[in-house]
Amino acid sequence: MSEVYENPLITRYASKEMSMIFSSQKKFSTWRRLWIALAEAEKELGLSITEEQLESMRAHVEDIDFELAAAYEKKLRHDVMAHVHTYGDACPEARAIIHLGATSAYVGDNTDILVMKEALELIQRKLASLLAGLKAFSLEYKDLPTLGFTHFQPAQLTTVGKRAALWMQDLLLDYEEVTFAIQTLRMRGVKGTTGTQASFLSLFDGDHEKVKALDRLVVSKFGFEASIPVSGQTYSRKLDSRVLNAMSQIGQSLHKMTNDMRLLQHLKEVEEPFEKHQIGSSAMAYKRNPMRSERIASLSRLAIANAQNSAMTQSTQWFERTLDDSANRRISIPEGFLAIDACLDIALNVVTGLVVYPEMIRRHVEAELPFMATENIIMEAVKAGGDRQDLHERIRVHSMEAGKEVKIYGRSNDLIERILKDDFFKLDQAALKEILKPENYVGRAPEQVVEFVENEINPILKRHEAELVQAQDLKV
């Protein structure tokens, strides 16, 4: 075990793939690629930069001497200049042209955008994969009637599959939000110290067209069609807020979904996976705690709260920039992604292993359905010649008495037996059995599931069919 603090997001929860996206190796090798792209573009536009210098830079993208960089930063108190010097030591032929005309935000901000875009694309794929898992579950159980709940009180019936479609609806909104963030992200580009491009205008002897071309060339080397139109020294921190809000929204959806799952597990209707040797409680050996859902809820709260970091950072920036954003962003941006990455992995593990108990669901439905069926019973009794108002009063009295049997004496709901014994209703057991079929009370729930999947979910899954993520075993 380490003698110092280790971030549990990395050691326990998030995937290796997401952890690598926010690694030091990724960050600083991207800085070097940005310096290469800048030098290449400056050479293409006529500055005195040689191919030998560029080749020297390209040869040392990944071999970063982190100890040397740390020593430089301790001396210089500036992380970007520390890595400029470290890179220059690795390729001395190019030392003179590394970071030419640029400010620290050139590598810092552009790298943040590139890293966030890659992280968003991973989140997008995992959202699609989770939707695929929920699609399979919702279609399998689209016809299984279950109690609906409002205020956690029994309400009209729905189906197990329709409830899963509600979870999918939330995640569909999250998928759309993440997709929008990906599609609208732009690099900061080549903007200079306060965003005016003054240093580059000087490098190109006042040629505005070359300065604009430099900006376009650099971002195109990273697959972007355009950069942010205007910036200060940094891009607007509202971009961070938009991205971390998207993570927060995913957290909101998953927290709600797993709250439902935890309640369903309490009702013994649906359970998350429980492994052969898993221990639910150190004291109570019989327990099957919903630890996966609880972990998702716990990490989701981190992502939800974390969105406030970016909101406060954006709102407190001064003019072209202040540095009070830096330390916070080093933590809040990676941890927002790492938390949601972990939540999505756990959620996929859960939804692909959910266990449904139809008989327990049926028992709960049968305990409440007689009350819900009273209107239908009245209508059938009217058809048999009864008076609607008299029937309503008699069934009200019977319902109150049946409610007492359940709540006061702990006995079964005997409303149907009471109605069968009351000749005023003129209904036999066969007629009541037909009225009490649960499928009569689910409305269009099965059809809604099918239509929702076909119209909304399938197009997304088709878009990602070659890159869906499979459920993985959890680290812990």
Q: Which structure tokens are listed for 182?
A: 């990906």
End-to-end CA, the chain: 16
Contacting residues for 379 by C-beta, under 8 A, at least 6 apart = none
Residue 39: count other Cβ atoms within 10 Å of its Cβ. Answer: 23
Q: Which structure tokens are listed for 315?
A: 């709102």
Q: Which structure tokens are listed for 51?
A: 């191919």
Return the H-helix or E-strand segment holding 200: helix 198-203
Phi, psi for 444 (deg, rounded to 5): -100, 20
**Is-contact 320 232, C-beta < 8 A?**
yes
DSSP per-residue string spanning 163-189: HHHHHHHHHHHHHHHHHHHHHH--B--
Phi, psi for 8 (deg, rounded to 5): -60, -25
In angstroms, rounded to a whole number, what is the distance separating the alpha carbons of residues 339 and 59?
A: 35
User: Count of residues for the chain?
Assistant: 476
> In 3-state terms, what secondary structure has residue 227?
strand
Whether 281 sits among the annotated catalytic residues: the reply is yes
Residues 48, 151, 277, 282: which is the catalytic one?
151
Q: Is 137 left (phi over 0), alpha (psi -120 to 50) or beta?
A: alpha
Beta bridge mates, 150: 153
Torsion from C-alpha of 58, 59, 62, 64, nearest 10 degrees: -110
Phi, psi for 159 (deg, rounded to 5): -125, 160
Q: What is the DSSP letter of 469?
A: P
| 78-95 residues labelled b (16+ CB within 10 A) or e (exposed) | ebbebbbbbbbebbeebb
Residues 24, 78, 202, 281: which is the catalytic one?
281
- Helical pair 79-90 and 24-44, crossing angle rounded to 10 deg: 70
Angle at 266 between CA 276 and CA 273, to 5 degrees: 25
Q: Which residues are catalytic?
A: 151, 281
